[in-house]
Structure 1
Amino acid sequence: MSQVTITRDVRVPMRDNVELSADIYKPKQTPAPGIVLRTPYGKLSKAQHDNGVFFAENGYVVMYMDVRGRGDSDGEFSPYRNDGIDGYDSIEWLAAQDYCNGIVGTMGGSYLGHVQFLTALHQPPSLKAMIPIVSPSDPFVEWPTGVPSPHHMCWLFMVGGRQMQNVDVVDWEQVYKTLPIEKMDEATGRYSKHWKEEMQHNTFDDYWDHVAYQEKFDRIDIPALHISGWYDDEQIGTPLNFTRMFNPTTDKKHAKDNYLLMGPWPHGINQSTSLGELEFGPDSLIDLKGYQLKFFDKYLKGIDNDFGEDKKNVDIFLMGHNKWVKEENWPLPDAVPTKYYISSERGANSRFGDGKLTTDPSEVDFGSDSYNYDPLDPVPYVTDVVSSQIGGADDYSAIERRDDVLVYSTDELTEDTAVVGPLRAKLYVTSDCKDTDFMVKLLDVHPNGKAIRMMDGMTRMRYREGMEKEVLMTPGEVYEIEVDVWNTSNVFKAGHKIRIEISSSAFPKYDRNLNTGESLATSEAVKVAHNTVFFDKDQLSYIELPIKNLK
Structure 2
Amino acid sequence: MKRLFAAAAAIAVATATAAPAPAQDYARYSDEAVTQELARIADTRMIAMVPMRDGVELATNIYRPKGAEGPLPTILWKTPYNELSYNVRTSRRALEAIKRGYAFVVQNERGRYYSEGDYQILGYPQTDGYDTLSWIAAQSWSNGRIGTLGCSSSAEWQLALAAQNHPAHAAMVPMAAGAGIGKVGPFREQGNWYTGGVPRTLFFVWLYGVDNPLRAQLPGDLDPDIRARIARYNDLAATKPSVNWTRQIRHLPVDEMLSDLGEPPATFEELIARGPADPAWREGGLYHDDMGWGVPALWVNSWYDVSIGPNMALFNHAREAGTDAEASANQYAIVGPNTHCAFAGLGPDFVSGDRDLGDASFDVDAQVFAFFDRWLKGERDAYPATTPAVRFYTMGANRWQSAEQWPPADATSVRMYLRSGGNANSLYGDGALSVEAPPAAEAPDRYTYDPMNPVQTIGGGDCCNGGLVTAGAFDQRPIEARRDVLVYTSAPLAEPLEVTGFVNAVLRVSSDARDTDFAVKLVDVAPDGTAYILGDTILRARYRNGYERPEMMEAGEVYTIAPTPITTSNTFQPGHRIRVEVTSSNFPKFVRNLNTGGANESETGHVVAHNTLHHSAAQPSYIDLPVVPRR
- Give the TM bin, normalised by the shorter chain: over 0.9
- Kept in 2: contact 1:341–1:364 (CA 8 A): no
Distance 1:329 1:255 in 2: 13
Q: Which residue number in structure 2 is paired with residue 78 of structure 1?
A: 120
- Kept in 2: contact 1:341–1:358 (CA 8 A): yes
C-alpha distance 20-251 of structure 1, shift in aligned 2 (>3 A): closer
- Kept in 2: contact 1:36–1:62 (CA 8 A): yes
The worse-fitting range, judged by mean Cα deviation, of 247-256 and 236-245 is: 247-256
Q: CA deviation at 1:362?
A: 5.4
Distance 1:191 1:506 in 2: 29
Q: CA deviation at 1:217?
A: 4.2
Distance 1:83 1:212 in 2: 9
Q: Which residue number in structure 2 is paired with residue 214 of structure 1?
A: 288
Residue number among 142, 146, 162 corresponding to 2:197 in the alignment: 146
Distance 1:196 1:250 in 2: 36
Q: Which residue number in structure 2 is paired with residue 280 of structure 1?
A: 357
Three-state SS of the structure 1 residue aligned to 2:492 is coil
Q: Which residue number in structure 2 is paired with residue 271 of structure 1?
A: 344
Q: Which residue number in structure 1 is paired with residue 389 of structure 2?
A: 313
Residue number among 180, 188, 201 corresponding to 2:274 in the alignment: 201
C-alpha distance 203-229 of structure 1, shift in aligned 2 (>3 A): closer
Three-state SS of the structure 1 residue aligned to 2:612 is strand
Residue number among 516, 521, 528 corresponding to 2:596 in the alignment: 516
User: Normalising by structure 2, what TM-score?
Assistant: 0.83
- Kept in 2: contact 1:271–1:285 (CA 8 A): no
Equivalent AA in structure 2 for residue 350 of structure 1: S
- Kept in 1: contact 2:422–2:444 (CA 8 A): no
Residue number among 156, 173, 181 corresponding to 2:207 in the alignment: 156
Q: How many residues matched?
A: 549
Q: Does 1:299 align with 2:375?
A: yes
Distance 1:168 1:314 in 2: 43
Q: Does 1:7 align with 2:45?
A: yes
Q: Does 1:333 align with 2:409?
A: yes
Equivalent AA in structure 1 for residue 124 of structure 2: N
Q: CA deviation at 1:248?
A: 9.9
Q: Deviations over 1:417-463 (max 9, x none)?
A: 11100111011111111111000000011112111100000011111
Q: Computing the radius of gyration over CA atoms, which structure comes out larger, 1 or 2? A: 2
Q: Which residue number in structure 1 is paired with residue 135 of structure 2?
A: 93
Q: Which residue number in structure 1 is paired with residue 427 of structure 2?
A: 351
Three-state SS of the structure 1 residue aligned to 2:391 is strand
Matches within 5 A, 1:536-551: 536-551=616-631
C-alpha distance 81-47 of structure 1, shift in aligned 2 (>3 A): closer
- Kept in 2: contact 1:226–1:260 (CA 8 A): yes
- Kept in 2: contact 1:430–1:477 (CA 8 A): yes
- Kept in 2: contact 1:340–1:542 (CA 8 A): yes
Three-state SS of the structure 2 residue aligned to 1:43 is coil
- Kept in 2: contact 1:344–1:365 (CA 8 A): no
Distance 2:317 2:156 in 1: 15
Distance 2:448 2:239 in 1: 38
C-alpha distance 171-204 of structure 1, shift in aligned 2 (>3 A): same
- Kept in 2: contact 1:25–1:62 (CA 8 A): yes
Q: Does 1:43 align with 2:86?
A: no
Equivalent AA in structure 1 for residue 250 of structure 2: K
Equivalent AA in structure 2 for residue 261 of structure 1: I
Distance 1:306 1:61 in 2: 19
C-alpha distance 146-521 of structure 1, shift in aligned 2 (>3 A): same
Distance 1:97 1:243 in 2: 35
Residue number among 249, 254, 259 corresponding to 1:181 in the alignment: 254
- Kept in 2: contact 1:154–1:167 (CA 8 A): no
C-alpha distance 234-412 of structure 1, shift in aligned 2 (>3 A): same
% identical equivalent positions = 34
Q: Which residue number in structure 1 is paired with residue 478 of structure 2?
A: 398
User: Normalising by structure 1, what TM-score?
Assistant: 0.95
Equivalent AA in structure 1 for residue 286 of structure 2: A
Q: CA deviation at 1:102?
A: 1.0
Q: Which residue number in structure 2 is paired with residue 57 of structure 1?
A: 99
Distance 1:173 1:183 in 2: 16
- Kept in 1: contact 2:437–2:617 (CA 8 A): no
Q: Deviations over 1:104-138 (max 9, x none)?
A: 11111112211001222233221111110001132
Distance 2:484 2:61 in 1: 53
- Kept in 2: contact 1:436–1:514 (CA 8 A): yes
The worse-fitting range, judged by mean Cα deviation, of 424-433 and 467-476 is: 467-476
Q: Does 1:21 align with 2:59?
A: yes
C-alpha distance 141-9 of structure 1, shift in aligned 2 (>3 A): closer
Distance 1:168 1:507 in 2: 24
- Kept in 1: contact 2:165–2:295 (CA 8 A): no
Distance 1:248 1:495 in 2: 43
Three-state SS of the structure 2 residue aligned to 1:253 is helix
- Kept in 2: contact 1:55–1:62 (CA 8 A): yes
Three-state SS of the structure 1 residue aligned to 2:344 is coil
Structure 1: which 4+ aligned runs deviate by more than 6 Å? Answer: 248-251
- Kept in 1: contact 2:445–2:613 (CA 8 A): yes
Q: Which residue number in structure 1 is paired with residue 20 of structure 2?
A: none
- Kept in 2: contact 1:374–1:528 (CA 8 A): yes
Three-state SS of the structure 2 residue aligned to 1:201 is coil
Distance 2:237 2:537 in 1: 30
Equivalent AA in structure 1 for residue 351 of structure 2: S
Equivalent AA in structure 1 for residue 145 of structure 2: I
Q: CA deviation at 1:470?
A: 2.1
Residue number among 123, 138, 145 corresponding to 2:165 in the alignment: 123
The worse-fitting range, judged by mean Cα deviation, of 520-529 and 385-394 is: 385-394
- Kept in 1: contact 2:136–2:142 (CA 8 A): yes
C-alpha distance 170-388 of structure 1, shift in aligned 2 (>3 A): closer
C-alpha distance 445-251 of structure 1, shift in aligned 2 (>3 A): same
Three-state SS of the structure 2 residue aligned to 1:331 is coil
Equivalent AA in structure 2 for residue 316 of structure 1: F
Equivalent AA in structure 2 for residue 134 of structure 1: A
Distance 1:435 1:81 in 2: 36
Distance 1:31 1:311 in 2: 28
Distance 2:358 2:59 in 1: 41
Equivalent AA in structure 2 for residue 329 of structure 1: Q
C-alpha distance 402-262 of structure 1, shift in aligned 2 (>3 A): same
Distance 1:390 1:485 in 2: 22
- Kept in 1: contact 2:175–2:341 (CA 8 A): no
Distance 1:134 1:316 in 2: 14
Three-state SS of the structure 2 residue aligned to 1:483 is coil
- Kept in 2: contact 1:7–1:23 (CA 8 A): yes
Q: Does 1:475 align with 2:546?
A: no
Equivalent AA in structure 2 for residue 86 of structure 1: D
